[in-house]
């Protein structure tokens, strides 16, 4: 009994250590390690993906409760299409069932769902379910949850270049006016602020074609926790670490204080 109390105390303290006035406005997460988690348990990869959905729910709830305005989750990359057909199918099925199941969590927490990526390449069922949830939650305003699906940052940048060059050719934009904000307005993430904190689980320390432009000045946080083991407490730890960092944006420490 006493031990449980001590643990409860430590957990409470973690959340309380977060400075609510210094929250990251945009957290992005590369949810990695489902396959290894399942393998460690002698199970098939799909078991890892299924269990990863619990971590998604925990993280979404924790961010909403704290007051984080934007959370973007990397759920499926353009490169992930190269996985075995059966795994891709499992992931797509899981997406449909999760969307169906989680609509209540989204509504209860006043969360708006959004999606970025080459959404037209998704199976019809996923596309339909996704748009239904996006439509049903469009007036929610506590937090925006963005799913990166069939997402690749290089593809996003290529699309941006194509759109802008089309507009230049047709005299809609003048070439001299192209600046950071014009580029921002043409990315899939046009409605989102830059990423403040990027988290990757599973111990890998790479970006894997995720939000290359948008993480220009993000704080990077890598943890060896495998995604299905990631809980609210791990998220709090990441935010506490983020709040300890000095974000200088090129200036000197003295200039900031």
Task: Compute the half-sphere exposure of residue 76: CA atoms within 13 Å on the CB side of its CA.
Answer: 24
70-77 vs 26-30, strand pairing mode? parallel
Would you say 24 or 48 has its CB closer to Mg ion? 48
Q: Which of residues 10-39 bind Mg ion (CB under 5 A)?
A: 32
54 binds, among Mg ion, ligand IPE, none (CB under 5 to 8 A by kind): none
Concerning whether 32 is annotated as a catalytic residue, the answer is: yes
Least distance in angstroms from the C-beta of 33 to ligand IPE? 4
- CA 173 to mean position of chain CA atoms: 31
The conformation of residue 257, written as its DSSP 8-state character, comes to -
Contact call for residue 30 and ligand IPE (CB under 6 A): yes
Least distance in angstroms from the C-beta of 75 to Mg ion? 12
Concerning whether 80 is annotated as a catalytic residue, the answer is: yes
Strands, E assignment, the chain: 26-30, 70-77, 111-116, 143-151, 197-200, 219-222
223 binds, among Mg ion, ligand IPE, none (CB under 5 to 8 A by kind): none
Alpha-carbon distance of 137 to 147, in angstroms, equals 14
Contact call for residue 80 and ligand IPE (CB under 6 A): yes
Count other C-beta atoms under 10 Å from residue 101's C-beta: 11
198 binds, among ligand IPE, Mg ion, none (CB under 5 to 8 A by kind): none
To which H or E segment does residue 141 belong? none
* 55, 77, 137, 146: which one binds ligand IPE (CB under 6 A): 77
Least distance in angstroms from the C-beta of 6 to Mg ion? 35
Region of 5-13, 30-38, 229-237, 239-247 interacting with ligand IPE (CB under 6 A): 30-38
Q: Are 72 and 148 in contact (CB under 8 A)?
A: yes
Q: 13, 80, 82, 109: which is the annotated catalytic residue?
A: 80
Rg (CA), the chain: 19
Residues within the interface to Mg ion (CB under 5 A): 32
Active-site residues, by number, are: 32, 80
């Amino acid at each position: 009994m006493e031990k449980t109390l001590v643990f409860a105390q430590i957990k409470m303290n973690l959340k309380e250590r977060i400075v609510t006035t210094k929250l990251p406005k945009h957290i992005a997460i590369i949810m990695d390690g489902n396959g290894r988690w399942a393998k460690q348990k002698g199970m098939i990869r799909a078991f890892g993906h299924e269990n990863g959905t619990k971590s998604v729910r925990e993280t979404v709830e924790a961010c909403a409760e704290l007051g984080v305005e934007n959370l973007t989750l990397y759920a499926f990359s353009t490169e992930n299409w190269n996985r075995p057909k059966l795994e891709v199918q499992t992931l797509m099925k899981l997406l449909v069932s999760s969307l169906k199941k989680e609509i209540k969590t989204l509504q209860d927490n006043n969360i708006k769902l959004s999606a970025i990526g080459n959404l037209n390449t998704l199976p019809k069922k996923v596309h339909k379910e996704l748009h239904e949830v996006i439509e049903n939650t469009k007036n929610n305003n506590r937090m925006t949850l963005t799913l990166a699906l069939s997402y690749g940052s290089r593809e996003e940048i290529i699309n941006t270049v194509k759109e802008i060059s089309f507009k230049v050719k047709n005299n809609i934009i003048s070439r001299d006016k192209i600046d950071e904000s014009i580029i921002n307005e043409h990315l899939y993430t046009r409605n989102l602020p830059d990423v403040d904190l990027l988290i990757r689980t599973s111990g890998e320390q790479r970006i894997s074609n995720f939000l290359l432009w948008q993480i220009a000045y993000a704080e990077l946080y890598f943890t060896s926790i495998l995604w299905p083991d990631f809980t609210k407490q791990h998220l709090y730890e990441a935010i506490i670490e983020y709040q300890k960092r000095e974000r200088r944006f090129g200036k000197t420490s003295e200039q900031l204080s």
